[in-house]
Amino acid sequence: MIKLVDLLNEGVFDKGILKVVFLAGGPGSGKTYAARGLFGLPKKINLSYTGLKMVNYDSEFEKALNKFGFGTELDAMPDEVFADLTGFDKKTDQPVKGVHSGLRDYTKALTKERQRLYENGRLGMIIDGTGDDYAKIADNKSRLERIGYDCYMVFINTSMEIALHRNNTRKRVLPKKLVTDSWHACQKNIGRFQGLFKGNIVVVDNSKHLEEDDAKKKFDSLAKTYIDKFVKKPTKNPKGKNWIRHQKILKKRK
């Protein structure tokens, strides 16, 4: 099993160094499935064949829900239990007032700390998000670029009907209003993301159900055309280049 301490000790010549891919798409878009196909991610390990490490709040939250015996069917939970676990009102999707369990805050803090450790080593990352909050992704991208990262985005898109259908068949079923609101917000942001990432973005249509062999061919082709090329390219960010140069000097002095 790969340990975090081993990942942080990776060197400047390791794969994926100073590369980050933002994975965006609404609930039910099939991001998790697409990520496994595009990045070769095993189900229980967050390290891809490209050398990129997955940063995913949803997976941390699901682990916590199962660990403490709540299960992941959020839509089936009573309103007060949903609010206590997530910190949000199920009907309005607004933050609840007063005291709640803090489980959501705990898993967000855990995910943030994992990303911080990866960044300290300038390790390559896949940052999984919904894509409905443009400002959050833009701020994260800007901050990562300031410490030397090259950034890319893979936007997984589907029709609303497919998104709702997949949501109803997933382990962690979300309220319908949350799915539809997020879908509309993501659609509005596609053009903004294309402007933000310029040529470093690909929009993948994941509406059709594909058999395993066809899906493998599709994602293998996309990975070779976009992801592999991005990861293998020399770092373009000037601050990233400086970091690499300094690391090489330090290695020579050891």
Yes or no: say if 31 and 182 are a contact pair by the CB < 8 Å rule: no
CA distances from 159 to 20, 216, 239 (A): 27, 21, 39
For the stretch 218-253, what's the b/e string if a residue is b when 16 or more beta carbons lie within 10 angstroms of its beta carbon?
bbeebbeebbbebbeeebebeebeebbeeeeeeeee
Q: How many domains does the chain have?
A: 1
Higher pLDDT, 254 or 181: 181
Select from 61, 73, 36, 43 the least CA-distant residue to 154: 36
Yes or no: say if 244 and 235 are a contact pair by the CB < 8 Å rule: yes
**pLDDT (0 to 100) of residue 49:** 60
**pLDDT (0 to 100) of residue 44:** 52
**pLDDT (0 to 100) of residue 74:** 74
**pLDDT (0 to 100) of residue 55:** 87
Highest mean pLDDT among 124-128, 172-176, 235-239, 243-247: 235-239
Which structure tokens are listed for 85? 């676990």
Yes or no: say if 143 and 100 are a contact pair by the CB < 8 Å rule: no
pLDDT in tens, 84-134: 877 777 777 677 777 677 787 888 888 889 899 999 989 999 898 888 999
Decide if 76 is inside a domain: no
Q: What is the mean pLDDT of the chain?
A: 82
The half-sphere exposure of 58 on its side-chain side, counting CA atoms within 13 A, is 20
CA distances from 32 to 38, 40, 97, 144, 251 (A): 10, 11, 32, 23, 37
Supply the range of the domain harboring residue 219.
4-55+123-253
Decide if 89 is inside a domain: no
Q: By percentage, how much of the chain surpasses pLDDT 70? A: 88
pTM for the model: 0.78
**pLDDT (0 to 100) of residue 148:** 97
Residues 90 and 100: their CA atoms lie apart, in Å, by 14
Residues 241 and 41: their CA atoms lie apart, in Å, by 28
Decide if 29 is inside a domain: yes
- Whether 51 shows a pLDDT value over 80: the answer reads no
Return the amino acid letter for 28: G
Residues 226 and 213: their CA atoms lie apart, in Å, by 20
Decide if 86 is inside a domain: no
- Whether 171 shows a pLDDT value over 90: the answer reads no
pLDDT band at 210 (very low <50, low <70, confident <90, very high): low
Yes or no: say if 126 and 39 are a contact pair by the CB < 8 Å rule: yes
Decide if 174 is inside a domain: yes
Yes or no: say if 182 and 190 are a contact pair by the CB < 8 Å rule: no
| CATH number where 211 lies | 3.40.50.300
Residues 75 and 93: their CA atoms lie apart, in Å, by 12
Strand order in the sheet with 150-157: 53-56, 125-128, 19-24, 150-157, 201-205
Higher pLDDT, 27 or 41: 27
Decide if 77 is inside a domain: no
Q: By percentage, how much of the chain surpasses pLDDT 90? A: 28
Decide if 245 is inside a domain: yes
Decide if 161 is inside a domain: yes
Yes or no: say if 138 and 131 are a contact pair by the CB < 8 Å rule: no
Residues 92 and 71: their CA atoms lie apart, in Å, by 22
Mean pLDDT, rounded, for 54-59: 79
pLDDT in tens, 129-149: 888 999 999 999 999 999 999
